[in-house]
Structure formats: structure tokens, C-alpha cells
Amino acid sequence: MDIDRYIASNTPVWNRLAELTARSQRGVGRLSAAELDELVRLYQRVAGHLSYAQTYYRDPGLVAKLSALVARSAAVVYGTRPRTLRVLGRFFTTTFPAAIWHARWFVLVSTLLSAIPAAALAIWIANSTAALEAVGPAAVREAYVNRDFAAYYSSEPAAQFASQVFSNNVQVAFQAFALGILLCVGTAYVLAANGAVLGLAAGLFAAVGQQPKFWGLILPHGMLELTAVFVAGASGLRLGWTLIDPGDRPRAEALAEEGRRAVVIVLGLVLTFLVAGTIEGFVTGRPWPTWLRVGIGVVAETAFLGYIWVYGRAAARRGLTGAFGEQDEGSWLARTTT
């Protein structure tokens, strides 16, 4: 989509968010409960628009306009309104884990779509001289294993490196999610390609007997980071599968419902990628004992999986599937039409 079409299609959303934000800031016409919920939802949506515009368009005027709108709205969303805080709390304790739990079998498929190419390529390179030599000259491979791979994690100041990693991971997750609309094929390609890159590196280290070094650098951040990519891929696969097999629902209705659930997953993963990026920037490249660096990664991964297991299952027992607008007793977001 070119920038003019992107602006034209999203301007109504931006204008509505600006209107609600302005009314709240001026204290004119106190926002109703439904409007507060709408404000939070639009804020999250426009924050996604800003990230997309920064990645794909890089138009200074558009980025500045969206940045200002998101900043004004954030001041309202994260302000003193108790209900707004409850809305955000319920998102992370109910809606987001419910959406992942609902898609758990697609998470398994997504994981396999990355893990199988990664394992196959790693084993092939580690055990085939021809495959190893096809990767590159011996001097290049030696430099990569002995110096370049590890140096990457300390190539820039930790905060700047973590920020870049975060942006890259969000971009990969967005691609894995968005390309699911191509009947799952696009998402499968992104996942397989991501796995192949991992398998290539693992194979080069294994070929020279340096697997511990490789895993010592990958596992601290990689466990949580890859899990988040697999979850994003699962949302894309489920979206694509809904087009293939909508069940007993009209295809458009099924796609809209699944889209509301997929958006929840993508928004919630932003925080997950922030944690993974922070670990990669501040832990992975540090000259600490391997057990300590990997241990931090294990704690982060265990916390995330436990969080989904506990909160996701609890939400599922109440009949929740994590879609925006889903209602149950005491639900955080009334079903609305926008």
C-alpha cells in the first residue's frame, strides 16, 4: 500500500482518536465508559500505525503527526483514570493470555515450521563437507565463529542495541502475522526463513565443535524472542486458516473475529519483545558466566510460559478466547462496532 492510500484509509481512525483525546484533555463532555474503552483500543491501534509508518514509509511529516497524536493519547491512557488502568490490567491478565491459549495448537505448528528447517540445515552443514564449503570460504567461516558472531552482541552501546533489536523483532513478528492473510503461505515462509538463519549459524558452530559457545549466546534472549515469533506466526496461521476453513460462519465474519484476536496477540507481544530485546542488549553480550546469562533467559521464558498457562487457562475456563470486544461477566471491553 502506498503512503497516500495508507493515510486515506487510516485518517478516520486518527481523527476519532484525536477527538476523544481532545475531549478528555479539555474535560468537555466527559467520556462515557464505552468511549474510554474505545480510546484505549484506538490508542493501541494508532501506536501500531506509527510503528508501521516508521518501518515502511519513514515520511517525516507522517511520523511526526502520528508521534504527537500517540503522545497526547498516551498522556490520557496512562493518566489518572482508574478505569483506564483497569482496562490495561485486564488486557494483560485476561485478553492477551486468552488469545494465545486459544491459538496454542497453531503455536505448535508455527514452532515446527521454524524448528524443522533449523534442525535440518544445522545437521546438514555440521555433517556434510560439501554443504559447509558452500556456505562460504574457510577464512570467512572461521572469522564468523571465532569473532564476528559474539562481537555482534557488543557492537553498540547496550541501550541502542536493545532498541534496534526490539524494532527488528517487532518487524519480523508483524510480517509473520500480516502475511498469514496469504492463505498461511506467507507466514510459513517467514517462519521457515527465520529458522533457516538460525540453523545456518548452529551448523557452522557444530561443524567445528563449538556448540556450547553458540547456545551460550543464543539462549539468554533467544528462548523468549523465538517464542514470541512463534506466537506471532501462530496468529498469522490462524488468520490464514480462517480464510481456508471458516467453519459454519460466513467467511467475512470469521475473518473479522479472528482478526480481533490476532491484533490482541500482536499488541501484547510488543512488551514480550521489549523484554527479549533488553536481555539481548544488556545480558547476552556481557562477559558473565554462561550459566548466569542462560539462567536469566530461562527465568524469562519460564515466567512467560507460566503466565500463559495460568492466566490463559483461567480465561478459557470462563469461555474467553481473547478477541477484542469479547464479553463475559465483568468484561473489560464492551462489544462495539467501529
Give residue-wise pLDDT tens across range 236-293.
Answer: 999 999 999 998 888 888 888 888 899 899 889 999 999 999 999 999 999 999 999 9
326 φ/ψ sector (left φ>0, alpha ψ -120 to 50, else beta): beta
Length of the chain: 338
Contact 21, 42 (CB under 8 A): no
Nearest to 260 by CA among 76, 44, 73, 81: 44
The answer to whether position 325 is within a domain reads no
pLDDT at 325: 65
Q: Are residues 210 and 308 in the same domain?
A: yes
Q: Are residues 284 and 214 in the same domain?
A: yes
The answer to whether position 338 is within a domain reads no
Scan for cell 486458516, then name that residue: 241
Contact 183, 244 (CB under 8 A): yes
Handedness of CA 186, 189, 195, 200 (dihedral sign): negative
* pLDDT, average across residues 132-152: 94
Q: Are residues 21 and 69 in the same domain?
A: yes
pLDDT at 333: 38
Q: Are residues 107 and 72 in the same domain?
A: no
Q: Are residues 73 and 150 in the same domain?
A: no
Spatial neighbors of 105 by CB under 8 A, at least 6 apart, are none
pTM here? 0.74
DSSP state of 136: -
How many CB atoms within 10 Å of residue 133? 12
* pLDDT, average across residues 223-235: 96
Domain region containing 57 = 3-79
**pLDDT tens sequence across 75-112:** 777 664 555 567 788 899 999 999 999 999 999 999 99
Distance, CA of 301 to chain centre: 15
The answer to whether position 326 is within a domain reads no
Number of domains in the chain: 2
The answer to whether position 323 is within a domain reads no
